[in-house]
Amino acid sequence: MNVEHQVAASAQSDKIDGVFAEYVWVPADNELASRSKGGMVTVFLILCVCCWSVSETWAAFGRATDNIQLFALLVAKLIWLLVGGAAIYDIRTGKIVFAFLCGVSVVGVASALPSVYMISKMIFILLLVECLLKALCLIVLGGGYLMSIALGRAS
């Protein structure tokens, strides 16, 4: 059934608003909307941060002394993955929360890097990579938001 036939049929039955409401969200030519290159870079960086967060979990497991600390560690990693997933799926609140968590983490980790360097070089490298990934992700997320403001598309 084509669109013109549905519009004509709905006009006869006074349901024209319902028919048009269905087609408001359909992309042109029935093609799925694709992400821009900037959006793909953002998704890649969010995936990198989430993967790095999960991959460095082994280093934190050795420091957990009881079940409560292990549970807190797993909940923290789950929160990162959930918020990262929301940011990847282009949910605005997810991106804002992810950027906030990245910013807080960068401030916390960057201030501890000099003292960690004196204790362990391996942990220093892990934290440095984490800090750099999160800072880069924060810059990309913030830059994308500022660009949308400049173009007048921010809500």
**pTM of the full structure:** 0.69
- The two tokens of residue 17 are 């608003």
SS3 category, 46: helix
Distance CA 61, CA 57 (A): 6
Residue 34 has which token pair? 């694709």
pLDDT digits (tens, 9 = 90+) for 29-48: 444 455 566 678 889 999 99
For 129-154, what is the mean pLDDT?
A: 81
Mean pLDDT computed over every residue of the chain = 78
pLDDT tops 50 at residue 130: yes
- pLDDT tens-digit readout, 58-80: 777 777 678 888 888 889 999 99
Q: Read off the amino acid at residue 29.
A: D
pLDDT tens-digit series, residues 83-129: 999 999 988 899 999 999 999 999 999 999 999 999 989 889 989 99
133 neighbors 52 (Cβ within 8 angstroms): yes
**Annotated domain spans of the chain:** 1-33, 35-150
